[in-house]
Homo-oligomer: A and B are copies of this chain.
Amino acid sequence: MKLATLDDGSTDGRLVVVSPDAERALPAGQDWPTLQSALDRWSEAEPELRRVARLLDMGEGPPLPAGSILAPLPRAWQWLDGSAYRSHGELMERLFGTAPPPAGRPLMYQGLSHQFLSGTADVPVLREEDGIDFEGEFGVVTDFVPMGVTPDEAMGHIKLVVQINDWSLRTLAPVEMKTGFGWVQAKPACSIAPFAVTPDALGEFWQDGRVHLPLIVHWNGKPFGAPLGGAMGFGFHDLIAHAASTRSLCAGTIIGSGTVSNDDYRTVGSSCIAERRGIEMLDEGAPRTSYMKFQDTVRMEATLPDGSPLFGPIDQRVVAA
């Protein structure tokens, strides 16, 4: 099942169920005006939303008004972003001179969640010199998760899978990292691709709490990378259990994978510029590729292997704020 949030002028938009081919949509119904309202009572909402999805499967539903799609959650009460791809971590340690993390513990920070941009929104930034970078990620959305949940139990709390562009300001990142307090200035609002999907929509490509599909990234129209999502060192269920070790997670918590990255990055490319700069440091002794300029674009999409749409594309332009 595919869900989207349409712009109706309100902050949280209006929830619709979308056909698998992403061509048509039907309202989720008055009991579930927003995705947050459905997540708050997911066990009641899911069967009703799946009933709407069956109507779409039978050909019902008007065309989806593509231009009016917001992020599935235009804001959320909690966004916890992991960094679960070890090859990404190693390149960042090289680039920024930071220490490797303790073994056996996922990396995670709490980020800005009061705004998630749509997958096609312009991205306003004040200063090019802050080092504007995209970061292609997968993410999951949970229902309520009790404190102390195990990874096995956490798997059942993964209700939706999403695709995220975690915008980053790289000049500010190492300064904030060295304080130990994590990132505030280096992490403005993320963007989320149009469709949040239930794990079953991924079929065999959802396994071990991981998305086993490549994330295809283009920067200014040129291929930049296509790393596989399955290479996470910790699955999303592990990340949820880590996050819920000392807190319960509210319904609608979004958990991020961190930048999708593979060990054979020289072959598959990257899903952020900083990683390419790390590779250049390894290969050429210094980074050569600059970060994004105003008017630069980035496109990221993970489809099913037959090319059929899944999350829909993120396709954005950076603009001067």
Contacts and interface: CB of A to CB of B under 8 A. Distances in A.
A183 B113 CA distance: 16
A33 interface: no
A172 interface: yes
B98 A180 contact: yes
How many copies make up the complex? 2
Contacts of A148: 126, 321
Interface string A166-204: 000100100111111111111011000000000000000
A206 interface: no
Interface string A36-78: 0000000000000000000000000000000000000001011
Contact of A108 (B98, B109, B184): B184
Interface stretch (A23-31, A239-247, A261-269): A239-247
B179 A101 contact: yes
Given A126-B147, A181-B83, A111 B110 contact: yes
A105 interface: yes
A54 to B, nearest CB: 32
Given A77-B77, A250-B114, A182 B126 contact: no
Interface of A: 75, 77-78, 80, 83, 98-99, 101-102, 105, 107-115, 124-126, 130, 147-148, 169, 172, 175-186, 188-189, 242-243, 245-250, 253, 321
5 contacts: A83-B181, A105-B175, A126-B148, A126-B246, A181-B182
Given A126-B147, A148-B321, A185-B246, 8 more contacts: A99-B178, A110-B184, A114-B253, A115-B250, A130-B246, A176-B180, A177-B180, A180-B180
